[in-house]
Structure 1
Amino acid sequence: MTSWIFDDTPIDDPFGYGERAVQFLRLLKHPKSTLPNLAFDLSPWQERIVRAIYGPRHPDGRRIIRTVAMLLPRGNRKTSLGAALALLHTIGPESVPHGESMVAASDRSQARIAYAEAYSIIEAEARFYGKLRLTDSKNRIQNPKKGSFFEAISADARTAHGHTPVFALVDELHAWPKRDLWEAIKSGLVKVPNSLLMVISTAGRGQENLAFEFYDYARKVARGEVIDPTWLPVLFETPRDADWQDEAVWYAANPGLAYGYPDIAGLRQLAREAAEIPAERSAFQQLNLNMWLDGSADPFVDMMVYDEGSFPVDLDALEGQPCWLGVDLSSTTDLTCIVAAWRNGEDGFIVHPWFFCPEERLRERGERDKVSYPLWAEQDLITPTPGNVVDFRYVEDQIREICARFNVREIAFDPHLARNTLNTLLDEGLPAVEMRQGWITMAPAVKELERAIVGRRFIHGGHAVLRWNFENIVIEIDKAGNKSFHKGKSREKIDGAVATAMAVARCAAGDSGVSSYETFEGDIEEWSYV
């Protein structure tokens, strides 16, 4: 997807604006440059990108490219390039009267880095003294002659609206805590003609986040699945199944390596440490090779393997087939989930979830958890219930509907929060059972689920919320080697994965009423069957 950057094919430049942009950057200086007279070091691969952004034009001179999606590992001087382009729009030939250029980052310190980079470029060139107004306390560089200015802002700022940028550089999108500033920038860019959005970031984690949405669209454009000539994808990323220790892979992901940056000796040292320390390995893969990893640093299963089970689930075809339910009822902030499991052959499983969350402050909860609950609600992937906690009456009604439609053999609950619901369903003659979420019951359930996923015998329909729950799992292992699910962080949700393990375990046990906990290595003291 980046071959055009290196193949010397012609880049359209009918008005010479691409050449003009390159010449402006070459006139800049950088205090850390090793070139004569501290000349700004514009590597050939960077020059090709600049020409691809600013060269192609409509007949009236408007730029064709309006969005640049660049994925670059650390150390490839993306901040320097972005800061120089911000100056191109502030004091260079792309500046317009009273035009606003900005760099936006996840927090104040990150935004300050890009501003400081632009500031250092200006300081290195004596010609700029007296011609620009630098307000360091506000992270602002102003061109009084045109009234144009460049400012650094952050996603944690109290106010995000009121900006009308002609150029917006978004830095490290994968680290943004919420969408407010992103939406303000996007809406502001359309207010002015010929605006440009440039997003430069390293790879992130997980799929239910703003950065993955953005770069997934860029990948589709790069592959030709989406035709959007206004986008320029520049994606230096490493496939998950690549040999991360192969230096050829490093060079493919790091275009600057051929020009001496990042430091190859430093990468080799990081790789040696990564070979021995799993946490360091994940960091090396994500930050230095641009591998987009799972949400958890120590995932339950490889999510690429999990995704192989994304075949559609035909619920109509499953009517009449024996079915087992696992139910994980929430506390005040967690999700509630029902998962149904059916047999698929002798040793495979098909599952389908139903999720519930509190309706009150739905958007704020989504920002806290860094997912889009409102969108999931629109897509019927999750059911909001009135109030600030999940109303279990809605859950009970859903269970009744499932039992009326499918051949439900058991409904497994952890009795910790489910005593009233369990008793209500039992009084109605529904097959409710207790399944405590302790080591005795959950360790074999987790093992059964892991065997099914790794063995490619687990079909889940690609449900987005369920996938998010699975990628949040952190595994805890006891001294006997038994595994248990835990959250990576307090905000991360795994309720759907827990309910899935419960449903699969009861489905595996079948009609015998015997739990797969018989394989547990330890004392049996937590299982009860009602």
Structure 2
Amino acid sequence: MSADYVGTALEYAKAVTRGDVIACKWVRLACKRHLNDLKAAKKRGAKFYFDEDAGNKVCQFLSLMPHTKGKWARQRELIVLQPWQCFAFCVLFGWKQSKDGRRRFRKAYFAVPRKNGKSIIGSGIGLYMFAADGEFGAEVYSGATTERQAWEVFRPAKQMLERTPELRDAFGAEVWAKALVNPEDGSRFEPVIGKPGDGSSPSCAIVDEYHEHDTSDLVDTMETGMGSREQPLMLMITTAGFNIAGPCFDQESDAKKMLEGVLDNDELFVLIYTIDDSDKWDDPASLYKANPNMGVSVDIDFLLSQQRQAVQSASKQTRFKTKHLNIWCSAKAAWLNLLEWDKCTDRTLRPEQFKGDKCYLTLDLAHRSDVCVIMLMFVKEIAGKQHFYLFGSYYLPENAIENDTKNCSAYRKWVIEGFLQQHDGAEIDFDLIEEDTLAMIAEYGPEEVVFDPYRAAQLEQRLTKQGINAVELGQTVKNLSLPMKEFESAVKAGRVHHDGNPVLTWMASNVVAKLDAKDNIYPRKEKPEQKIDGIVAGIMGVARAMSGETNEILQGFVDI
């Protein structure tokens, strides 16, 4: 009698939603989605139905596969699926379209910390799609930017097939040096570095560690090639990473919006294991929430040791958070906590709402490859504390966008979405920046226009001639240390507010703090392509707001 994998998956979903199984918000929402879909499927005219046989079939297949690593492989044991894995596979393969019986989910995004059985997800599903999905002439690709990464998924699948001769015989499969093939119908499973060749028609594409990709080119190419397939699967498996401007972070953001009901995408399956915003990363309980295979493929003592080391060494914290708690941290020595920054987001904010409030306009004028910034910062006093509201405009010349291999894809996307203004040619259009600056000054009447003297002398003269209060603020440790500390404190306390502009969020994730012997700090970036100009402009605004607050206090003493 075969195991009831669908029943295990259902019980897991119920246990998570009841709180009997500790899980983060995103896992709870994924489980709730499945349970709600089961209720909806009972109604007449339902768009989807759940095929229990299809869910059980894939789990039965995977349970016949041998382990390829560690003590289980040494003992020649077969894979034993955990309840969370039963849930993942049954839901992904069990849901069908009512109109034609084809699979519902065409794309899947799995985000899990390291050592939580990702090879079973990638290699196992790839092998199933190659051998047992019933797709004639199946084409399964393990795609990556490097050969090493492409083989991380393909190698275990190859080993599984090599160690299961009965499977090879049953499906007529052959194991080649760099491919698995079925000569009878031409099916194949192989690693691909970069884009697949012309004429490829993937039935399944697997991208492992998507966070390492600088662009979405590989995923886009794979999806485009799936047009002739009836029920293809685009599978993305990853841990969190450091590149907030990359395609993986965008994909995860969209996935979370889908789970929250903000975006509608019936064809996307999402499972993200991490911790919640309110959880403490140094609490051992967080390890169990983020690591569903804790005590199975993830050694408890090892993770506790890694956590203790991260608590004792600040240099190890970011890596621990990304790799073992699945938290996006961006810069490897990031200054701002990205979760705290995200809490400051309010997408309903518009600068027009603050007309008449105290305002500072900050200019950070860059050279050819950096981003020019005009930052409007409104200041309100709430409960005796200053709150800062940031609205940035960002500018780059076309040549700088096209020549930046790391950020080009993100820049193009932001230009299309209206978050970044692109100038023609190789030079910043300072006439346009001046025009926009003057328009903002006329509309919002800032207390001061704050600028770094670098490349701003001509603009300062023009502003001064028009009677505008222009204040020079050099980007030095002396000028920025205290306001940088205030900016950080304000973020932690929720006193910084921004409209969710992805350019500013990316810049926030890139800032690292350089500390000197006197505990002064200064904003820096680890690599040239990691721009921070918007945050620097915000810090400059905070500097002037703090100066203004001090002057008001001193004036109060004078009046007394």
**TM band (smaller chain):** 0.7 to 0.9
Could you tell me which residue of structure 2 aligns to residue 325 of structure 1? 361
Distance in 1 (alpha carbons) for counterparts of 2:440 and 2:11: 53
Residue 69 of structure 1 corresponds to: 109
* Shift in Å, 1:465: 1.5
Q: Deviations for 1:186-222, whole angstroms, at most 9, x for unmatched residues?
A: 2222331111122211123464432122223333333
**Against the structure 1 CA distance between its residues 284 and 40, is the aligned structure 2 distance closer, same or farther, given a 3 Å change threshold?**
same
1:282 to 2:322 alignment: no
Mapping 1:55-204, distance limit 5 Å: 55-59=94-98, 60-91=100-131, 93-127=132-166, 128=168, 131-136=172-177, 139-154=178-193, 157=194, 162-204=199-241
Q: Is the 8 A contact 1:294 1:303 kept in 2?
A: yes
> Do the aligned partners of 1:160 and 1:184 also contact (CA within 8 Å) in 2?
no
* Paired residue secondary structure (1:341): strand
Kindly provide the amino acid, as one letter, of the partner of residue 102 in structure 1: Y
Alignment of 1:313-462 (within 5 A): 313-345=349-381, 347-360=386-399, 362=401, 365=404, 368-369=406-407, 372-462=410-500
* Matched residue SS, 1:75: coil
Sort the Cα spacing of 1:462 and 1:229 in 2 relative to 1 into closer, same or farther, 3 A.
Answer: closer
TM-score, normalising length: structure 1:
0.86
Is the CA contact 1:208–1:370 (under 8 Å) kept in the aligned structure 2? no
Q: Cα distance 1:399–1:13, how it changes in 2: closer, same or farther (>3 A)?
A: closer
Displacement after TM superposition at 1:361 (Å): 6.1
Once the two structures are TM-superposed, the CA of residue 354 in structure 1 deviates from its matched residue by: 1.5
C-alpha distance in 2, partners of 1:343/1:439?
A: 23
Aligned to 1:305: 340
Gap runs ≥5 in structure 1:
517-530
**How do 1:238-249 and structure 2 match up within 5 A?**
238-249=275-286
The farther-off stretch of 158-167 and 470-479 is 158-167
Greater share of residues in helix: 2
Q: Which moved more, 1:306-315 or 1:210-219?
A: 306-315
2:545 counterpart SS class: helix
- Structure 1 residues 240, 106: CA separation in 2 closer, same or farther (over 3 Å shift)? farther
Residues of 1 paired with 2:243 and 2:74: CA distance?
44
Give 1:525's aligned residue: none
1:321 positional shift: 4.4
SS of residue paired to 2:203? strand
Distance 2:445 2:262 in 1: 41
- Contact between 1:296 and 1:471, CA under 8 Å: does it hold in 2? yes
> Which whole-Å deviations, capped at 9, do the CAs of 1:430-456 have from their partners, x for residues lacking one?
333321111121223323433433343
Q: Does 1:487 align with 2:525?
A: yes
Measured in 2, the distance between the counterparts of 1:36 and 1:208 equals: 41
Q: What do residues 372-400 of structure 1 show as CA deviations (whole Å, max 9, x unaligned)?
A: 22232233322111112322221111112
CA distance in 2, matches of 1:87, 1:72: 20
Partner AA of 2:436 in structure 1: Q
Contact 2:215/2:246 (8 A) holds in 1 = no
Q: CA deviation at 1:180?
A: 1.0
Is contact 1:363-1:372 (8 Å) kept? no
**Pair 1:210 & 2:264 matched:** no
Q: Is the 8 A contact 1:325 1:410 kept in 2?
A: yes
1:77 counterpart letter in structure 2: G
Distance 1:228 1:135 in 2: 38
Does the aligned pair in 2 maintain the 1:206–1:212 contact within 8 Å?
A: yes
Unpaired segments of 5 or more residues in structure 2? 1-8, 16-33, 39-48, 555-560
Deviation at 1:151, TM superposition (A): 1.5
Matches of 2:536 and 2:359, distance apart in 1: 17
CA distance, structure 2, for counterparts of residue 271 and residue 309 of structure 1: 27
Q: Find the residue that maps to 1:353 and give its secondary structure.
A: strand
Q: Kindly tell me: are residues 353 and 74 of structure 1, through their superposed partners in 2, closer, same or farther at Cα, counting changes over 3 Å?
A: same
Alpha-carbon offset, residue 83 of structure 1: 1.0
Q: In structure 1, what is the Cα distance between the partners aligned to 2:499 and 2:392?
A: 10
Q: Aligned-pair RMSD on alpha carbons?
A: 3.1
Structure 1: distance between partners of 2:435 and 2:196: 42
What is the distance in 2 between the residues matched to 1:509 and 1:490? 31
> In terms of mean alpha carbon deviation, does 429-438 or 308-317 score higher?
308-317
Over 3 Å counting, the alpha-carbon distance change for 1:411 and 1:273 in structure 2 is: same
SS where residue 390 of structure 1 aligns? Answer: coil
Letter aligned with residue 292 of structure 2: P
Deviation at 1:19, TM superposition (A): 2.8
Secondary structure of the structure 2 residue equivalent to 1:298: coil
SS at match of 2:240: coil
Contact 2:510–2:530 (Cα < 8 Å) also in 1: yes
The partner residue of 2:507 within 469, 482, 495 is 469
Per the alignment, in what secondary structure is the counterpart of residue 417 of structure 1?
coil
Query: C-alpha separation between the residues in 1 aligned to 2:114 and 2:411?
Result: 31
- Using the alignment, how far apart are the partners of 1:90 and 1:180 within structure 2? 23
Amino acid aligned to 1:17: A
The one-letter code matched in structure 1 to 2:223 is K
8 Å contact kept, 2:195–2:221? no
Distance 1:340 1:224, change over 3 A: closer
CA separation of 1:352/1:57 partners in 2, compared to 1, >3 Å: closer, same or farther? closer
Conserved 8 A contact 1:163-1:184 = no
